[in-house]
Amino acid sequence: MRDAAAGTAPDPVPGRPPGPATPGNLAALKHVPALLALVWASSPPLTLASFGLRILRALMPLAALYVGKLILDEVVRLVALPSPGPHLADWLKDGRIDPLIGWMALEFALAIGSDLISRLVSVVDSLVSELYTNTVSVRLMRHAAALDLKHFEDSEQQDRLDRAQKQVMGRAPLLPQLLGQFQNLITVLSLAAGLIAYAPWLILVLFIALLPAFLGETHFNARGYLLNFARTPQRRRLDYLRAAASSTESAKEVKIFGLVDFMIDQFLALSRSIFAANRKLAIRRTIWGGLLTSIGSIAYYGAYAFFVWRTLSGSYSIGDLSFLAASFLRLRGLLEDMLLGFSQLAGQALYLDDIFSFFEIRPEIRSAGTPLPFPRPIEQGFAFEDVGFRYPGTQRWAVRGLSFTLAAGEVLALVGENGAGKTTIVKLLSRLYDPDEGRVLLDGHDLRDYDIDAVRAHIGVIFQDFVRYQFTAGENIAIGRIDAREDAPRISEAARRGLADGVIGKLPGGYGQPLGKRFNSGMELSGGEWQKIAIARAYMREADLLILDEPTAALDARAEYEVFQRLRDLSAGRTAIIISHRFSTVRMADRILVLEGGHVIEAGSHDELVAAGGHYADLFNLQAAGYR
């Protein structure tokens, strides 16, 4: 295929966890540099401030411990000297406690400074995390919009998108954790430097003692990720059941059909299954974690006994004992936190793979290297030449051997039962998909030779399942040409031509009225009113090719007649395709194609097809009988 020749990388194997999900595998940390790049892109000044503050904070513990040692040694020295008097004034006048006062003042300043820096770090981290979340969210939305339609119509790809969407918010705490590891590393190095001066071998003992707990955490983090990965379809179903049982869209049927108990039973069955698996993993993790962590406690108390003995033998001072015991205790805690944090970081990074592997998906439907400009006006029109297409993951051909023409300025209607291939033709025309066989031509050139954005910019589509955006009424119409959303006269004219002006005139906020019930002050419209809003979008579009998919499905007979008259105006001088089951609508077309099984079985005007007495005539007479 053309895109394969362009060098498109294939997607990762669907349904299989990416490489980092292997238990104990730390390869997922490969995404940390990309994460830091996103953090830096979010705010370089705040990122620098965070690193700078953490370096200062990391050095505070060693400074505080060493000053504490100096204070103790000074106290022991002063106690051994003759007293200058019973009162504090005597000691101050003598001057011998001046160094002690200086060290105590420095310790106080370090305590105040450490608290202040901690608060600043917390503020900066929260701001960086928020900006990072916003940056990744924008990238996710932009990347999702660039992907092919197949990525949204395939359940496995939906799982990938769902995991990526959840991790955008779920991985925000990873940033403070990552920066905290950086801070702890500096503190560990500074404390280790102090201990090495006394007993270098203790550092090695400490690392060996903490290694089992680290490996245990790494193992269970990976197991947790594998469990969550495997449960993605079930979690999506839980989200669906939760929404379906309590959403505005389904509330009427849930009440009328008494569906709530059925939905709750399904929800409980799934949630209990997930809970049982999580509980089993949590119990195993707690038991093994407690056993492995106890090894670190044995190492600490062994080292503490060594320090006490060296002090009793005269090798260390009381200040040295205090400094070494506190440093070793702090170092043990930091190393334990670092190793466990590193394993947790690796576990969190497994979830980063959900985000970055999604970003690695590349669209296959793209513009040619040197695309042709879209013809203005269209001179010859469109042509399907022996087109065949199968939806991804299926063996059945949606259309095959399909050939027909759509002349410039012609209004063509597509008629056929569900599954006949009508919607597939629309998707191929708008390059939501490309043919597997044959070609779709525009003015004699393959549609793939044109710029894809230009093709879509010149096509206006009213789908039967059009989106009811939770925006204002004016914005819902402006969606037809979103770059003209500030053009109020154009929006008003589109509403008038689409019969939506009467709907908007009844709204309290007019064109500024939010629609839908998801947000405060929103107003819900009827199905027919929403359809008029959608039709107004087509007038707003002013496209060269209009595709009307069941444009009057939700309208009553009078409204359908009025819209029918407007549709004549809408399609006048333009190339148009009408898809409808209502013959009162399709009979306006210049030519009608009757589809069955992805093939054209009849073609002609309404009168010609009725006179021919074929499949179209049977369908027309069957529908007309209902009105006699």
CATH number at residue 248: 1.20.1560.10
Segment 222-234 shows an average pLDDT of 73
Cα(161)–Cα(512) distance, rounded to whole angstroms? 33
Locate the DSSP E strands across 533-598.
545-549, 575-579, 591-596
In this structure, what DSSP letter does residue 388 have? E
Sign of CA dihedral 580, 582, 583, 585: negative
Q: Residue 138 is part of which domain span?
A: 19-359
| Nearby residues of 246 by Cβ (< 8 Å), 6 or more positions away | none
* Whether 76 and 189 share a structural domain: yes
Boundary (domain end) residue, out of 486, 513, 542: 542
**Length of the chain in terms of residues written:** 628
End-to-end CA distance of the chain: 52
In this structure, what DSSP letter does residue 594 have? E
Residue 424 lies in a domain: no
Tell me whether strands 545-549 and 575-579 are parallel, antiparallel or unpaired. parallel
Is the pLDDT at 297 greater than 70? The verdict is: no
Is the pLDDT at 478 greater than 80? The verdict is: yes
Q: Per-residue confidence at 143, pLDDT binned at 50, 70, 90?
A: confident
Segment 51-64 shows an average pLDDT of 85
In this structure, what DSSP letter does residue 44 have? H
Task: Write down the pLDDT at residue 412.
Answer: 92
Confirm if 167 and 159 have CB atoms less than 8 A apart: no
Cα(79)–Cα(565) distance, rounded to whole angstroms? 106
For 452-510, give the DSSP string.
HHHHHHTEEEE-TT----SSBHHHHHHGGGGGGTT-HHHHHHHHHHTT-HHHHHTSTTG
Q: What are φ and ψ of residue 385, in 5° steps? A: -115, 100
Task: Write down the pLDDT at residue 398.
Answer: 92
Tell me whether strands 411-415 and 445-446 are parallel, antiparallel or unpaired. unpaired
Cα(196)–Cα(191) distance, rounded to whole angstroms? 9
Please state which of the ranges 245-254, 310-319, 398-407, 434-443 shows the lowest mean pLDDT.
Answer: 245-254
Cα(583)–Cα(415) distance, rounded to whole angstroms? 9
Please state which of the ranges 5-14, 559-568, 582-591, 609-618 shows the lowest mean pLDDT.
Answer: 5-14
Q: What mean pLDDT value characterizes the chain?
A: 78
Q: Per-residue confidence at 9, pLDDT binned at 50, 70, 90?
A: very low
Between residues 178 and 109, the one the model is more confident about? 109
Task: Write down the pLDDT at residue 157.
Answer: 67
Cα(60)–Cα(323) distance, rounded to whole angstroms? 14
Give me the percent of the chain exceeding a pLDDT of 70: 75
Residue 9 lies in a domain: no
Task: Write down the pLDDT at residue 171.
Answer: 53
Task: Write down the pLDDT at residue 492.
Answer: 93
Q: In what order do the strands lie in the sheet with 575-579?
A: 459-462, 545-549, 575-579, 411-415, 591-596, 599-604
Half-sphere exposure of 315 (CA within 13 A, CB side): 9
Number of domains present in the structure of the chain: 2
Q: Please identify which residue in the block is written with the tokens 């089951």.
A: 581
Give the Cα-Cα-Cα angle 268, 270, 272 (nearest 5 degrees): 65
Task: Write down the pLDDT at residue 441.
Answer: 94
Confirm if 26 and 222 have CB atoms less than 8 A apart: no
Calculate the CA 410 to chain-centre distance. Answer: 42
Residue 430 lies in a domain: no
* Whether 216 and 343 share a structural domain: yes
Is the pLDDT at 440 greater than 60? The verdict is: yes
* Whether 354 and 465 share a structural domain: no
Is the pLDDT at 473 greater than 80? The verdict is: yes
Confirm if 440 and 387 have CB atoms less than 8 A apart: yes
Q: How many helices (H) and strands (E) does the chain have?
A: 23, 10
Q: Residue 400, SS3?
A: strand
Sign of CA dihedral 540, 544, 550, 551: positive
Confirm if 540 and 477 have CB atoms less than 8 A apart: yes
Residue 549 lies in a domain: no
Please state which of the ranges 175-179, 349-353, 475-479 shows the lowest mean pLDDT.
Answer: 349-353
Segment 600-623 shows an average pLDDT of 89
Instruction: State pLDDT tens for residues 213-226.
Output: 666 666 777 777 67
Cα(9)–Cα(359) distance, rounded to whole angstroms? 13
Residue 267 lies in a domain: yes
Q: At what angle do helices 318-359 and 155-170 cross, to 10 degrees?
A: 150
Boundary (domain end) residue, out of 315, 340, 359: 359
Boundary (domain end) residue, out of 332, 359, 386: 359
Is the pLDDT at 5 greater than 60? The verdict is: no
Cα(136)–Cα(35) distance, rounded to whole angstroms? 10
* Whether 349 and 483 share a structural domain: no
Cα(198)–Cα(324) distance, rounded to whole angstroms? 8
Is the pLDDT at 333 greater than 80? The verdict is: no
Is the pLDDT at 173 greater than 70? The verdict is: no
Task: Write down the pLDDT at residue 443.
Answer: 92
Task: Write down the pLDDT at residue 403.
Answer: 93
Q: Please identify which residue in the block is written with the tokens 């062994």.
A: 302
Task: Write down the pLDDT at residue 414.
Answer: 92
Q: Which amino acid is at 9?
A: A
Task: Write down the pLDDT at residue 449.
Answer: 92
Q: Which amino acid is at 559?
A: A
Task: Write down the pLDDT at residue 113.
Answer: 87
For 334-349, give the DSSP string.
HHHHHHHHHHHHHHHH
Task: Write down the pLDDT at residue 249.
Answer: 61
Between residues 165 and 486, the one the model is more confident about? 486
Q: Per-residue confidence at 252, pLDDT binned at 50, 70, 90?
A: low
Q: Per-residue confidence at 594, pLDDT binned at 50, 70, 90?
A: very high
Between residues 576 and 388, the one the model is more confident about? 388
Find the CATH number of the domain harbouring 501: 3.40.50.300
Give the Cα-Cα-Cα angle 537, 540, 544 (nearest 5 degrees): 100
Q: What are φ and ψ of residue 403, in 5° steps? A: -140, 130
* Whether 347 and 491 share a structural domain: no
Residue 27 lies in a domain: yes
Is the pLDDT at 21 greater than 60? The verdict is: no
Q: Residue 399, SS3?
A: strand
The CA R_g of the chain, rounded to the nearest whole Å, is 36
Q: What are φ and ψ of residue 294, in 5° steps? A: -60, -25
Supply the pTM of this predicted model: 0.62
Residue 388 lies in a domain: no
Angstrom CA distances, 453 to 141, 146, 366, 367, 430, stand at: 17, 11, 9, 8, 10
Residue 336 lies in a domain: yes
